[in-house]
């Protein structure tokens, strides 16, 4: 019984966060984010990403109301997941291209190849845990 309640509470929290994100996207687009040029690697009709929208909010922060800023903050978990996804993709591509963990660690500022590899493992585990 307790497990069902935990799942229901998690589902409710996920639903509430998804609703906040939808409202934030609508709010920021209404403020002009929908007029930003598309990135060449993300052709239409692909929607703007949470990273695009949070960067737009930061760029316009001086003109935003506290409510607008709260909306942008609601997109940070999604933006973080997008950045982590890009990071995983680049690390995976680098390894696929034959780069060693030592080379990747040096390029990314890790103190050791092992630390870099452990970071990659943690990132992929977090992505696997996301709904």
Q: How far is the C-alpha of 18 from the C-alpha of 58, rounded, in Å?
A: 21
Please state, in angstroms and as integers, the Cα–Cα distance from residue 75 to each residue in 5, 54, 56, following that order.
27, 7, 12
Dihedral of alpha carbons 4, 7, 9, 12, sign: negative
pTM of the entire structure? 0.76
Could you give the residue ranges of the DSSP H alpha helices within 31-131? 50-59, 66-74, 76-96, 101-108, 113-129
Torsion of CA 46, 64, 57, 31, to 10 degrees: 20
- Ordered per-residue pLDDT tens for the chain, 131 residues: 566 666 666 678 888 888 999 999 999 999 988 888 888 888 878 888 999 999 999 999 999 999 999 999 999 999 999 999 999 999 999 999 999 999 999 999 999 999 999 999 999 998 877 76
Q: How far is the C-alpha of 76 from the C-alpha of 71, rounded, in Å?
A: 9
Instruction: Evaluate whether 131 touches 14 at the Cβ level (below 8 Å).
Output: yes
Instruction: Evaluate whether 99 touches 92 at the Cβ level (below 8 Å).
Output: no
pLDDT of residue 17: 84
Please state, in angstroms and as integers, the Cα–Cα distance from residue 43 to each residue in 8, 22, 47, following that order.
37, 21, 9
Q: What contacts 2, CB < 8 A, 6 or more positions away?
A: none
């Amino acid at each position: 019984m307790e497990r069902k309640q935990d799942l229901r509470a998690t589902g409710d929290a996920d639903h509430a966060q998804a609703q906040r994100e939808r409202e934030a996207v609508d709010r920021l687009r209404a403020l002009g984010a929908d007029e930003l040029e598309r990135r060449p690697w993300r052709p239409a009709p692909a929607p703007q990403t949470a990273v695009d929208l949070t960067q737009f909010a930061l760029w316009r922060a001086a003109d935003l109301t506290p409510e607008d800023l709260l909306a942008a903050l609601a997109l940070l978990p999604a933006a973080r997941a997008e950045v982590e996804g890009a990071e995983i993709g680049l690390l995976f591509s680098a390894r696929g291209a034959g780069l060693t963990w030592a080379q990747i660690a040096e390029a990314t500022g890790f103190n050791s190849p092992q630390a870099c590899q452990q970071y990659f493992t943690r990132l992929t585990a977090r992505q696997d845990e996301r709904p």
